Structure 1
Amino acid sequence: MNIRSLALAPVLALAMAFPALAERIPLNDISRYLNGLTTVTSDFTQINPDGTVSTGTVYIQRPGRVRFEYNNDRTLVLASGGNVAVFDAKSNSGPQQYPLSQTPLAIILDANVNLGRPGVVTNHTEQNNATVVTAQDPQRPQNGNIQMVFTAPTELRQWIVTDDSGQKTTVILGEMRKGGSIPSSRFSIQAELGRR
């Protein structure tokens, strides 16, 4: 063994002691991936702001539509036509409604996701072999943000929405089933009002 090999030995040993870090997925690749998602169905686990855990199925039809059905619970969250409606199983009144633009989830559901726009992404890092992107509406930063976690090859695994009051809701996705069709009535707030 020559002197150069001896000098490199500690460096090589140190390099092998740490697993290879995954490269950060570029924002352009993530935007392209999100824009390529049209119809998605997935089981999900939700960690609520109070620490309780809910499970269910999420249906996404981009742009602009999402339906969260909760297991063992008639609670339902629908986004469609630029509005979000929360049907609370414990409430006798109608759903709580507000504009989709007031929730950071609108960033994922936008017709043209462009994470490269100035002010949209506030953090873009690699953590635990995943790419983590924190995004907000630059026109309405007071509405909170969404932190999205992606693995390579580019796949959305979870998101954390921080709302305007600082409350965090985490949604962890199961295996995503992409493509197929979901009847538009599943996203209709009016149709749901009629059913209830």
Structure 2
Amino acid sequence: MNTLRRILLAAPFALAALGGHALRAEELSLSEVSNYLNGLQTAQGAFTQIASDGTISTGTIYIKRPGRIRFEYDPPEESMVIAGGGSLAIFDPRSNTGAERYPLSETPLKIILQNNVNLANERMVVGHTYDGTSTTVTAQDPDHPEYGNIRLVFTDEPALRQWIITDNTGSETTMVLGDMTVGGNIPNRLFNIIAEERAWAER
């Protein structure tokens, strides 16, 4: 599986370093994690991605729930991943055939971007641990484990700080999240795949 396919699988969990400030010394429950994710409506900020071969990429993430997310990769990579309108599209500047599309329902992104996130439902959580400083939740589509799994790492506030995606070949990709700006208006046009395809064609 190539790097861009790993980006596709990883995308759903680029969801922001958010949370309150209460001190804790215990594992976050699945209900607390679900409530945290459900409280996220719009957010944007920086991310750093570490691929399985050690390659480091940076960029900006935009989130607008439900159903929309956008990753803009910084030069020299200049790739882009957009979810909107029930699809997820990968834009590669090296491609001459346009964006590579996938049904949103066939990616783990659907778990996070749905209207009501309930990690305790449908057997999607296959791991839930605490090491004294952070809670790790491993999730996958229970009906399609071949899509891979995602380990989400939360600090106690709670706040999502990173995730690790393991694809169906065993390769891992890590996403580290920077500080996020939560709330505010994010234009719907950022998640319009058709409009973005037109813009790329005019480059």
The normalised TM-score by structure 1 is 0.85
Q: 1:167 to 1:111 in 2, by over 3 A?
A: farther
SS at match of 2:38: helix
Give 1:189's aligned amino acid: I
Alignment check: 8 A CA contact 2:125 2:140 kept: yes
Which residue is 1:64 aligned to? Answer: 67
- What is the rounded CA distance, in whole Å, between the counterparts of 2:111 and 2:122 in structure 1? 14
Which residue is 1:189 aligned to? Answer: 193
Q: Output one character per residue of 1:35-64: Cα deviation in whole Å (capped at 9) or x when no partner.
A: 110101120000113220100001111111
Which residue is 2:130 aligned to? Answer: 126
Alignment check: 8 A CA contact 2:26 2:132 kept: no
Q: Which has the larger radius of gyration?
A: 1
- What is the rounded CA distance, in whole Å, between the counterparts of 1:184 and 1:167 in structure 2? 33
Which residue is 2:106 aligned to? Answer: 102
Which residue is 1:41 aligned to? Answer: 44
Alignment check: 8 A CA contact 1:105 1:161 kept: no
Q: 1:50 to 1:106 in 2, by over 3 A?
A: farther
Q: Output one character per residue of 1:127-164: Cα deviation in whole Å (capped at 9) or x when no partner.
A: 25000000111121221111111112111111122233
Give 1:46's aligned amino acid: Q
Which residue is 1:154 aligned to? Answer: 158
Which residue is 2:55 aligned to? Answer: 52
Which residue is 1:5 aligned to? Answer: none
Percent sequence identity over aligned pairs: 53
The structural deviation recorded for 1:109 is 1.5
The structural deviation recorded for 1:86 is 0.5
RMSD: 1.5
The structural deviation recorded for 1:106 is 2.4
Q: Which has the higher contact order (CA 8 A, sep 6+)?
A: 2
- What is the rounded CA distance, in whole Å, between the counterparts of 1:161 and 1:63 in structure 2? 22
The structural deviation recorded for 1:118 is 3.9
Structure 1 residues not aligned, in runs of 5+: 1-20
Structure 2 residues not aligned, in runs of 5+: 1-23
Which residue is 2:88 aligned to? Answer: 84
Which residue is 1:114 aligned to? Answer: 118
Which residue is 2:29 aligned to? Answer: 26
- What is the rounded CA distance, in whole Å, between the counterparts of 1:111 and 1:164 in structure 2? 27
The structural deviation recorded for 1:167 is 2.9
SS at match of 1:191: helix
Residues matched between the structures, number: 176
The normalised TM-score by structure 2 is 0.82
Give 1:120's aligned amino acid: M
Alignment check: 8 A CA contact 2:154 2:161 kept: yes
Give 1:29's aligned amino acid: E
Alignment check: 8 A CA contact 1:103 1:163 kept: no
* Structure 1, 97-106 or 85-94: larger mean CA deviation: 97-106
